[in-house]
């Protein structure tokens, strides 16, 4: 039996996917791995690249973009290993990352999920673990006060904080690289496919902890994460996906009233950004200011 089944969802990330797969083969060590790529109807030659350069990788090709959660569930359904690594296509594993997560999971049967230390391309720390979101935290994120007050890694703690050890009590870890016990994944029914993109990782950790599983962070597992690899050319749509998923999480777990308060925050800050960036584009003749998600795309 394989040690770990790695599931990678890809949507138009051909070059990033190739780098990701190369990092797996270069850092796998003695682990017996199964790699499954679920392609969400890419049009950038990803499937041809896989066939040519990675013939041993199992590939599931969707005819349409079915979303991140559903695609991961598809990959998990055809996998065989006792542990699942859900890995973003815009990541690169650094030496020892997978082994350290695997050993931590094996030594602690109460742990259902282990997350990694995410790094930006320049090596700086990227938010990797955090308490479950609340209205105050989301206000700090939306207003950018979180980054200004606590640093660029908000809402995580930076490595200089001293708390970067095995954190069994942290609520959730970021979904770019998560090692999950198959038993735990099946117990909660996998990822909630009601999320198209974003917040499905938070929801999974929440469901696991409700069932008594622990969620740990492994600081020794170092992973480069580009971020937004599959949506870097669709920023307004990405914002809409993010906000709608956040509202869904709040409504599912905290109730409609709290979800409405979050929606009010999102709507207010989005309207403000539309005004500011629209003004910047007008006075700079398009040199400054960026597209912002239209208010009609936001819903509760």
Structure tokens at 259: 């979800």
Cβ 135 vs Cβ 179: under 8 Å: no
Which of 224, 233, 229, 228 lies closest to 22 in space, CA to CA?
Answer: 224
The span from the CA of 186 to the CA of 174, in Å, is 20
| Mean of per-residue pLDDT scores for the chain | 91
With both helix axes pointing from N to C terminus, report the angle between 235-254 and 200-210 in degrees, rounded to the nearest 10.
20
pLDDT score, position 140: 94
Check whether 234 has a pLDDT greater than 80: no
Q: pLDDT digit string (tens) for 85-128?
A: 999 999 999 999 999 999 999 999 999 999 999 999 999 999 89
Structure tokens at 162: 């001293």
Determine if the pTM surpasses 0.85.
yes
Strand locations in 69-132 (E):
83-88, 91-93, 111-119, 125-126, 129-130
Q: What is the mean pLDDT of residues 177-193?
A: 97
What residue has token string 């008594």?
212
Question: How much of the chain exceeds pLDDT 90, in percent?
Answer: 73
pLDDT score, position 226: 92
The span from the CA of 279 to the CA of 300, in Å, is 28
Domains and CATH numbers, the chain: 4-225 (3.90.550.10), 235-297 (no CATH)
- Strand partners of residue 111: 214
Q: Pairing state of beta strands 58-62 and 83-88?
A: unpaired
Q: If pLDDT is split at 50, 70 and 90, which confidence band does 160 have?
A: low
Lowest mean pLDDT among 144-153, 166-175, 255-264: 166-175
pLDDT score, position 294: 82
Which position has the higher pLDDT, 158 or 146?
Answer: 146
Check whether 300 has a pLDDT greater than 90: no
């Amino acid at each position: 039996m394989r040690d770990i089944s790695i599931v990678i969802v890809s949507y138009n990330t051909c070059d990033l996917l190739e780098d990701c797969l190369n990092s797996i083969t270069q850092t796998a060590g003695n682990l017996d791995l199964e790699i499954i790529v679920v392609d969400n109807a890419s049009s950038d030659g990803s499937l041809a690249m896989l066939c040519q350069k990675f013939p041993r990788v199992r590939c599931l090709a969707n005819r349409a973009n079915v979303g991140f959660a559903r695609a991961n569930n598809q990959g998990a359904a055809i996998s065989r290993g006792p542990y699942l690594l859900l890995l973003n296509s815009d990541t690169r594993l650094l030496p020892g990352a997978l082994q350290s997560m695997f050993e931590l999971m094996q030594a602690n049967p109460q742990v259902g999920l282990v997350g990694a230390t995410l790094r930006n391309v320049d090596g700086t720390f990227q938010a990797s673990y955090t308490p479950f979101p609340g209205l105050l935290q989301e206000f700090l994120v939306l207003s950018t006060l979180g980054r200004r007050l606590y640093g660029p890694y908000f809402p995580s703690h930076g490595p200089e904080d001293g708390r970067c050890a095995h954190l069994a009590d942290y609520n959730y870890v970021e979904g770019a690289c998560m090692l999950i016990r198959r038993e735990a994944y099946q117990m909660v029914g996998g990822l909630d496919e009601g999320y198209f993109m974003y917040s499905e990782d938070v929801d999974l950790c929440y469901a696991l902890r409700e069932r008594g599983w622990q969620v740990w962070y492994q600081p020794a597992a170092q992973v480069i994460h580009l971020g937004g690899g599959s949506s870097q050319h669709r920023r307004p749509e990405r914002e809409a996906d993010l906000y709608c998923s956040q509202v869904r999480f709040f409504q599912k777990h905290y109730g409609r009233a709290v979800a409405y308060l979050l929606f009010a925050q999102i709507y207010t800050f989005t309207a403000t950004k539309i005004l500011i960036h629209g003004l910047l584009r007008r006075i700079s003749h398009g040199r400054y200011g960026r597209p912002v998600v239209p208010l009609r795309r936001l819903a509760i």
